Amino acid sequence: MNEGRAKLALASGSPRRLALLEQAGIKPDLLCPTNIDETPKKSEMPRSLVARLARAKANAALTKRKVVDLGPSTFILGADTVVALGRRVIGKPDTIDEASYGLKLLSGRSHRVYTSVYLITPKGTARQRIVETKVRFKRLSREDVESYLVSGEWRGKAGGYAIQGRAEAFVQKLQGSYSNVVGLPLYETVSLLQGTGYPVYFNWFNAG
């Protein structure tokens, strides 16, 4: 094991976050999904919720054996994304009825997507960024909703939709980071990693 080389553990099992990192030329050394309670606390605001959950995911990964085994030069990246209509969080639906209800709430309205990125460095310091994107959906017809539900893309997605899939056809306007809505704001994530000493661009040079 080369303990001197900087390593990266992603405290997530999300294929979307992994794909976004790889798009930026970053390949985590380890995927370490964590099992934490994502239930919002009473009166918890969306920004506070994503900040807390991203921090909890990274900290939960910190003590896992497979993360420790990577060695002392390991960066741990946690992230969480929520969709909110005002103060109300539209969570990940468990059933098709919940997904239908969420889409109808978002229909013809603007909502906000928040992602918190939380990075623990090898020195044990932590840095966090919270990114907000405003998204407006067109007014969804009954056919729009029913067809989308049949596609199954809503499963496991914050707000019950995947902007990188069929739901992009619902978006009238987007203000802010597109990758944030997918699940990981690339500009802020790369800036965090680079600013704390992770060799992002070294990996680009060695991609071939």
Q: Is residue 14 part of a domain?
A: yes
90 located within any domain: yes
CATH of the domain at 47: 3.90.950.10
Domain contains 188: yes
The residue to which tokens 């995927």 are assigned = 31
Contact partners, residue 25, CB within 8 Å, separation at least 6: 200, 203, 204, 207
Give the Cβ contact number of residue 30 at 10 Å.
Answer: 17
Domain of 42, in residue numbers: 7-205
CB neighbour list of residue 8: distance below 8 Å, 6 or more residues apart? 26, 28, 29, 30, 74, 75, 76, 77, 193, 198
What does the pLDDT look like over 52-107, one tens digit per residue? 999 999 999 999 999 999 999 999 999 999 999 999 999 999 999 999 999 999 99
80 catalytic? Reply is: yes
- 113 lies in a domain? yes
**pLDDT tier at 206 (50, 70, 90 boundaries)?**
low
Q: How many domains does the structure of the chain reveal?
A: 1
Beta strands in 86-125 (DSSP E): 88-90, 110-120
Would residue 2 count as lying in a domain?
no
Whether residue 160 contacts residue 92, with contact meaning beta carbons closer than 8 Å, is answered with yes
Distance CA 126, CA 35 (A): 21
User: Which listed residue (37, 80, 94, 97) is catalytic?
Assistant: 80
Question: Does a structural domain hold residue 1?
Answer: no
pLDDT tens for 113-124 read: 999 999 999 999
Among candidate residues 171, 81, 72, 174, the one with its CA nearest the CA of residue 123? 72
Buried b (16+ CB within 10 A) or exposed e, 173-200: ebeebbbbbbbbbbebbbebbeebebeb
Is residue 162 a part of any domain in this protein? yes
Taking 60 as the threshold, does the pLDDT of residue 2 lie above it? no
Nearest alpha-carbon partner for 14 in 72, 64, 78, 69: 78
Residue with tokens 């059933």: 95
Is residue 58 assigned to a domain?
A: yes
Question: Which pLDDT value is given to residue 1?
Answer: 41
pLDDT in tens, 144-190: 999 999 999 999 899 999 999 999 999 999 999 999 999 999 999 99
